[in-house]
């Protein structure tokens, strides 16, 4: 009976895992062009998205993006000079630590603010020099229902 249970759990889990292939350089140095990885399609309920998660999403179900969650629903995000900042409860801003950028320094230029709506996310590529992301999208936010899955392996 335990073998059956193990197989049933494994099959159920595999139903929520999908392979995905990176196309392009927008996630360098974390993920490279033509790199294959797995995504977990369970992103609601007990597995909510958090800042720093890498997600796959699409606006039209034809072209898929791979980006990192930077802003969460309800947050105010400010980009200025070479920093991403998150508004804190006191009204000031805390600099977002981004160790995955591997000490790349990107100048964001003019100060910009993003007021992330409820149920939506702000996403940036790790290769800020070569990434089409929330900074360049016509509508900068990604709805939860547009997110196909979250990176899990390797």
Whose CA is closest to 76, among 85, 67, 68? 85
pLDDT in tens, 82-134: 899 999 999 999 999 999 888 777 888 788 999 999 999 999 999 998 999 99
Residue 4 DSSP label:
H
Q: What does the DSSP 8-state code read for residue 117?
A: P
Beta bridge partners of 123: 69
Active site positions, annotated: 26, 67
The model's pLDDT over 3-45, given as tens digits with 9 standing for 90+, comes to 654 444 445 455 678 898 999 999 999 999 999 999 988 876 6
pTM (predicted TM-score): 0.87
């Amino acid at each position: 009976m335990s073998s059956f249970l193990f197989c049933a759990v494994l099959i159920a889990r595999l139903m929520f895992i999908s392979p995905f292939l990176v196309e392009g350089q927008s996630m360098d140095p974390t993920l490279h062009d033509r790199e294959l990885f797995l995504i977990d399609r369970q992103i609601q309920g007990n597995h909510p998205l958090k800042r720093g998660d890498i997600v796959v999403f699409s606006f039209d179900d034809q072209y898929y993006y791979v980006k990192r969650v930077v802003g969460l629903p309800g947050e105010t995000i400010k980009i200025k000079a070479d920093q991403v900042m998150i508004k804190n409860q006191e009204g000031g801003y805390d600099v977002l630590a981004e160790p995955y950028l591997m000490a790349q320094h990107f100048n964001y230029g003019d100060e910009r603010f993003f007021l992330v709506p409820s149920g939506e996310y702000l996403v940036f590529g790790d290769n800020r020099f070569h990434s089409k992301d929330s900074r360049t999208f016509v509508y900068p936010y990604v709805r939860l229902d547009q997110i196909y899955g979250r990176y899990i392996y390797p």
